Amino acid sequence: MPTRNENFYFRPAILLVSQFALVVTELRQALLNITDSIFHDTVCFPLTQVEDELFSVPEHGLKEVKGGPFNTMFALPVEQGGTREGSSEKNPIRLSGISAFDFQSFLKVIFPQPLTESMTLTLEEWTSALKLSTMWTCAAIRTKAITQCYTLMDKSCPISMVVLGKRYHVSSWLLEGYTTLCMRDNLPTVEERINLGLDTTLRIAEVRAEVHPMKNRSAGKVFEKSKAHFEAGVRKIFREELLDDEAYMEEDKLVTQPSRPLPYDRSSVLHIPSH
C-alpha cells in the first residue's frame, strides 16, 4: 500500500496561500486559517505515485513548468465514464524510473518556501532536480539547477565535474574539468582513468600531445602554452560531446569562426642559455 509523502501532501498549497497572504496582508489571517479539506475542494491535486509514495501537489504549479510530461498528461481526453489519471489515490499518476527523493527535490524547486524563507537545497537535491529537468526537458529548471550545483560542488575535483557533466550533458562542467585535467603535470591516475573511461582518457592524452610547448631554439626561447590553448584543444577534441548540451551550440558557433591564432603567454617564456 503506497504511503503519503507528508512533505508534499497539501503542504505546497499551504505555501502558495502563505505567499499570497504576504502580498494581501489584510487577508493573511483568514487565508492561513483555511483547512486542508477546503484546499482539496478548491484546488485540483493530481496524485503522483513514485516508488511507494504518494505526492499531492497543485495542478497549476505543474502546468506552469515549461517542458516535462505533465502538460501532455493533463491535456489527454478522459473516456466517458472514466476518471483522469491523478484524480484520486486509487488512480494516481505513476512515474517509473525515478526515485521518490528525485521527485521530491524537483518539487522543492517548483514549489519553494514562502517569500520570508530562503530556499536551501543540498547538492544532492539540486543534482536530483537537474536529473529530472534534463530528462523532462525543463530548460528553466535545468539552468537554475546547473548554477546551484556549480556553486555547491567541489571544483578542486575535475573528475567529479567531468563525470557529472557527462551524465547530465553540462558543457561548462566538461570544458572546465577537461581543461584542468589536460593542464596537469601528471596523467590521470588508474582510479581516475577507470572513472573517466578509456575513450575519454585517450582524448585527454590527445589534447595534451597536441597542445605541447613550442620550442624555438634558434631564438633561444621556449614558449609554453597558456590555459586558452588547452581550452581550445578541448573544444576541438571533445566538440561532439560538448554539443550534446544545447546551451553550447551558440558558443560553438563563435569559437569555431576563423580567427587569428591565440597569442602565446609571454609571462611563461623560458630562456634557454645559448651554447
Q: How much is the pTM? A: 0.73
Q: Is residue 147 part of a domain?
A: no
28 and 89: one domain?
yes
Range of the domain at 41: 1-74+83-120
Q: Say yes or no: 103 and 171 in one domain.
A: no
Give the separation between CA 269 and CA 262, rounded to whole angstroms.
Answer: 15
Instruction: Count up the domains in the chain and report the number.
Output: 2
Same domain, yes or no: 273 and 189:
yes
Tell me the CATH number at 98.
3.30.710
Residues 172 and 237 in one domain: yes
Same domain, 109 and 204: no
How many whole angstroms separate alpha carbon 8 and alpha carbon 59? 13
Answer yes or no: do 116 and 184 share one domain.
no
**Tens digit of each residue's pLDDT (9 = 90 or more) over 14-42:** 333 333 333 333 333 333 333 333 333 33
Backbone angles phi, psi at 74, to 5 degrees: -70, -25
pLDDT digits (tens, 9 = 90+) for 43-90: 455 677 888 888 888 888 888 888 777 878 777 888 877 778 888 888
Average per-residue pLDDT in the chain? 76
Backbone angles phi, psi at 53, to 5 degrees: -120, 145
User: What distances in angstroms separate CA 254 from CA 31, 97, 164, 178, 235, one per listed residue?
Assistant: 52, 38, 25, 20, 12
